[in-house]
Amino acid sequence: MRGFWSYAKERLLKFHGVSKDNFIYYLKELEFRYNFRDNIDNSLYKCLGVIN
């Protein structure tokens, strides 16, 4: 958890603030990127249905 939170804080600071309404969406995107950080391109394409 500590690794993810450090990762998330670093990236959230770049936005200079996130609304409460959208915070969960930013956090979920960061969760996805963190979990698939070693192979993000193939994972993203697979989710989008580009690669079978």
Give CA–CA dist 44/40, Å, rounded.
6
Number of residues that this document lists for the chain: 52
Q: What is the pTM of this model?
A: 0.65
Proportion of the chain above pLDDT 70, given as a percent: 88
Q: pLDDT tens digits for 25-39?
A: 999 999 988 887 777
What residues does each domain of the chain span?
2-48
Give CA–CA dist 31/29, Å, rounded.
5
What does the pLDDT read at residue 50?
Answer: 66
